[in-house]
Amino acid sequence: MLYQIIDILGTVAFAISGVLVAMEKKLDLFGVLIIAFVTAIGGGTLRDLLIGNTPVTWMMDITYMITIFIAVVFAVIFVNQLKYVRRSLFLFDTIGIGLYTMVGVEKGLQAELLPVVCIALGTMTACFGGVIRDMLCNEIPIIFRRTEIYATTCILGGASYFLLTWLSVPEKYAYLSAIVVVIVMRTLAVRFGIRLPNIYKREAQG
C-alpha cells in the first residue's frame, strides 16, 4: 500500500512539473498533456523495459492515466495561483525525484537485482522522465546541467535506503527516510549552490 501511494504521488508531482514547463513554453493543450504524460511515465517506462516488465506498468493499470489527466487539469486551472513558476517547478520536480527514486529501487528489489542495480533503476526512474520532457521542450536536461545536482541526490537516496536496512531500521522507515534524503539533499544543493567539480576548469585556465 505504501509503495502504491508513493508511486501515485510521484506521478502527480512529475505530471504537474511537466505542465509547468509546457505552459512556460506556451504549448497548446494537447502539447501540455503530452509533456505531462512523458514526464510522469518516461523514466518508469524505460525501467520496465530494461527489466523485462512488459507490458509496462501504466499500460496495465488505468489509474496512472487517470491520475495524470486529473493532475494536468488541476495544474492548468490553478496555474495562476502558482505565482512563481520556477519555484513551483523546482518543488514538484524535487518531490517527484524523491518519490520515484524509491519506486525504482522497489522495482529492482522485486526483480531480485543487486543493490547497485536497484539504485541505478531508481535514478533512471526519477531522472529520465525529466530528460525526455526537457528534450521535447528544447531545453538542456537538468540532469546534464553543471548548475544542478540531480542524479547524484537520487543515488545518495537509494544508497541511504540500503544503508538503513543494513542497520536494521524497519523497511518502511528506511523507505520514507530515503525519500526525505533525496528531497533535502537537492534542496540544500540548490539553496547553497553545491555542485559537482568542474572538469573544464583546468582547461579554461590554460
* Residues 152-172 pLDDT 10s: 999 999 999 999 999 999 999
Q: 47, 121 in Cβ contact below 8 A?
A: yes
For residue 76, the SS3 value is helix
pLDDT value for 192: 82
The owner of cell 523495459 is: 49
Ramachandran category for residue 37: left, alpha or beta (phi over 0 → left; psi -120 to 50 → alpha): alpha
* Residues 15-54 pLDDT 10s: 988 998 998 899 999 999 999 999 999 999 999 999 999 9
What residue ranges do the domains of the chain occupy? Answer: 2-196
* Residues 86-123 pLDDT 10s: 577 788 888 899 999 999 999 999 999 999 999 999 99
The owner of cell 524535487 is: 94
DSSP output for 160-180? HHHHHHHTT--HHHHHHHHHH
Is the preceding omega at residue 55 within 30 degrees of 0, hence cis? yes
Amino acid (1-letter code) at residue 182 = V
Q: 41, 59 in Cβ contact below 8 A?
A: no
Using the predicted structure, report yes or no on whether residue 174 has a pLDDT greater than 60: yes
